[in-house]
Amino acid sequence: MFTKEEYLTRMNQTKQKMMEYGVEVLLISNPSNMYYLTGYNAWSFYVHQILVVMIDEEQPIWIGREMDAHSAKVTTWLDENHIIPYPDEFVQSTIRHPMDFVANILTEIGQGNRKIGLEMDAFYFTGMCYERITQGLPNAEFRNFSTLVNWVRLIKSDTEIECMKKAAKILENAMHAAFYTADVGMRENDVAAAIYQAQISGTKEFGGDYTSIVPMIPTSENTASPHLTWTDRRYKHGDYLTIEIAGCYRRYHTPMARTMAIGKAPDKVKDLAKVVVEGIETTMDTIKPGMTAEEVESVWSKTIAKRGYFKESRLGYSIGLSFPPDWGEHTVSFRKGDRTIMQPNMTFHLMPGIWLDNYGVEITESIRITENGCETFANVPRELYIKEPSQISHMTSPKEQTGS
């Protein structure tokens, strides 16, 4: 989907930063960064794999499990001789570790005594990886560059924005599927199933991809816990729920949260929803290129402070492509101290969730910074959705309805 030209641009931007920071070799274990630079796309990150970016080589080298080398051939732009498989005996072994293999390869190709950057806090780069790679390359000089490529990913290309727009179409379908399915007598897992069905079947024109976080749809008092997933509890009249999901197209995400109530919403939830909506809309009206991330956050915090509310957690974060377990890019956060300057084609999940002792409200948007402001990716009414319970009994599960 991405042209080789786009990959080479990404590589060059990465090498530019490596040069600035004095890194000669960058070892990448973050699957999102691996995908960004090469297109590698398989569910193989549960075993160790590394992409080696060398400052003086056009192509990086992929090192991974033997049975996954074929995926590298199929999904990346790399030449076959830049795909190096390690034998299966390195997998989850108490004797051998894949980083021993990586260290040997780096030594063999003359990279063992260079300045090496590690993604020290990236997913899947374990303490053991760190120990074994440093022991295996005693003549190298190591430094932490956990998010070097993440920062390259910050401003999206037009092709990336197109992917996110497609993700947003899928998201709209998935959110409506949740609204449609959540009803008296239905179970939380039925709503999750409807969300998945919409997320993956996508549209007639294009299919959906799996999201890096599963649907999080806590009910009523559990809305105080934003990261609960679901159970098979049945909804009753007066239940309310937060729905935090994303659409995903070719690993590009647009997340969104909405809050809905079945039949009626408690006044405290209605009140909090008004505060959240006022807060996000005031913030979105204000965001424009040139502002800093912390200035964006302060618009929000001042707006809700007028209503007597305070949110301790960050207001949002950069988004784009990602692999589980997170759809955030781990770069910009809307919070105090983050002085990143807003620029066109930065993309964020603006995440005004407020969680109190026994309830919470989330009404959020994925946004793109434009030339003079911002725009949302998806179009779903920005309000607390109060649903009239259906007259029809929903006691049969969607599974039975499709007859499969």
Name which of residues 255 to 314 contact its own copies (CB under 8 A). 312-314
Secondary structure element (H or E) that encloses residue 168, with its range: helix 158-181
Identify whether the C-beta of residue 259 lies closer than 8 Å to the C-beta of residue 273: yes
4 binds its own copies (CB under 8 A): no
| Piece of the chain touching its own copies by CB under 8 A; list 152-160, 227-235, 273-281, 374-382 | 227-235
328 binds its own copies (CB under 8 A): yes
Identify whether the C-beta of residue 244 lies closer than 8 Å to the C-beta of residue 320: no
Which of 201, 282, 286, 345 touches its own copies (CB under 8 A)?
201
Instruction: State the binding string over 47-66 for its own copies (x if CB under 8 A, else -).
Output: -------------------x
Q: What is the DSSP string of 57-108?
A: -SS-EEEEEHHHHHHHHHH----GGGEEEEPGGGTT-SS--HHHHHHHHHHH
Identify whether the C-beta of residue 1 lies closer than 8 Å to the C-beta of residue 250: yes
Which of 60, 112, 136, 202 touches its own copies (CB under 8 A)?
202
Q: How far is the CB of 243 from its own copies (least distance, A)?
A: 14
The structure tokens 């989907």 sit at: 1
Residues in 136-195 at the binding interface with its own copies, rule: CB under 8 A: 144, 146, 173, 176-177, 180-181, 187-190, 192-194
The arrangement of strands across the sheet holding 141-144 comes to: 83-86, 61-65, 50-54, 25-28, 115-118, 141-144
| Measured distance CA(404)–CA(151) in Å, rounded | 45
362 binds its own copies (CB under 8 A): no
Question: Of 107 and 189, which has the nearer Cβ to its own copies?
Answer: 189
42 binds its own copies (CB under 8 A): yes
Question: For residue 116, what are its two tokens?
Answer: 């090496």
Total residues interacting with its own copies, rule: CB under 8 A: 92
Residues in 72-111 at the binding interface with its own copies, rule: CB under 8 A: 74-75, 87-89, 91-92, 97
Which of 6, 9, 13, 44 touches its own copies (CB under 8 A)?
44
Q: How far is the CB of 394 from its own copies (least distance, A)?
A: 12
Question: For residue 179, what are its two tokens?
Answer: 């609204």
